[in-house]
């Protein structure tokens, strides 16, 4: 970790009150850590906007496994992109629904494309790509 720099920030009192309430709800006990996390979040978003940047994240899918050929399609997609899909967790949520969480890693453009193909498959009720960082640049 590099040395700490201290900065002063001028901010509207009303905005600061809103910020304090927001970070309290999120469990922060001080502003500095909340500011640092906001900055890191923006930097991670920026990294994901660079198509060739190596990124890591998770894809969460909820789907009805009775939808014809859906399970096969999702499995086929995962095998096609096995180099980018590092791990998969499958839970049988109920009689009908499954939850899958995939850990994905690779070029930002590839990971987004794979996530899009999985999430947009017919029968997937909800899907989300969560983007995070390899940790080294922050
Ligand atoms: Ni299942």
Q: Quote the domain boundaries for residue 42.
A: 13-49
- Do 70 and 126 have their domain in common? yes
How many Å lie between the centroid of ligand 1 and the Cα of residue 125? Answer: 14
| Mean pLDDT score, 91-114 | 96
Asked if pLDDT for residue 1 goes beyond 80, the answer is: no
**Is 6 among the domain residues?**
no
How many Å lie between the centroid of ligand 1 and the Cα of residue 91? Answer: 6
How many Å lie between the centroid of ligand 1 and the Cα of residue 94? Answer: 8
The full DSSP string for 45-81 is: HHHHTSTTSEEEEEEEEEEETTSTTHHHHHHHHHHHT
Which pTM value belongs to this model? 0.84
**Is 1 among the domain residues?**
no
- Do 92 and 118 have their domain in common? yes
How many Å lie between the centroid of ligand 1 and the Cα of residue 62? Answer: 9
**Is 127 among the domain residues?**
yes
How many Å lie between the centroid of ligand 1 and the Cα of residue 76? Answer: 16
What confidence category does residue 24 fall into, taking pLDDT thresholds of 50, 70 and 90?
very high
pLDDT at 13: 96
How many Å lie between the centroid of ligand 1 and the Cα of residue 64? Answer: 8
């Amino acid at each position: 970790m590099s040395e700490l720099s201290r900065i002063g920030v001028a901010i509207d009192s009303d905005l600061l009150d809103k910020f304090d309430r927001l970070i309290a709800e999120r469990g922060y006990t001080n502003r500095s850590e909340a500011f640092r996390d906001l900055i890191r979040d923006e930097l991670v978003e920026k990294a994901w906007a660079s198509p060739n940047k190596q990124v890591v994240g998770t894809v969460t899918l909820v789907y009805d496994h009775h939808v014809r050929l859906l399970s096969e399609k999702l499995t086929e997609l995962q095998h096609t992109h096995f180099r980018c899909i590092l791990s998969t967790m499958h839970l049988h949520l109920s009689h009908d629904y499954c939850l899958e969480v995939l850990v994905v890693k690779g070029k930002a453009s590839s990971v987004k494309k794979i996530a899009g193909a999985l999430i947009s498959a017919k029968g997937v009720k909800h899907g989300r790509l969560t983007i995070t960082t390899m940790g080294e640049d922050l």
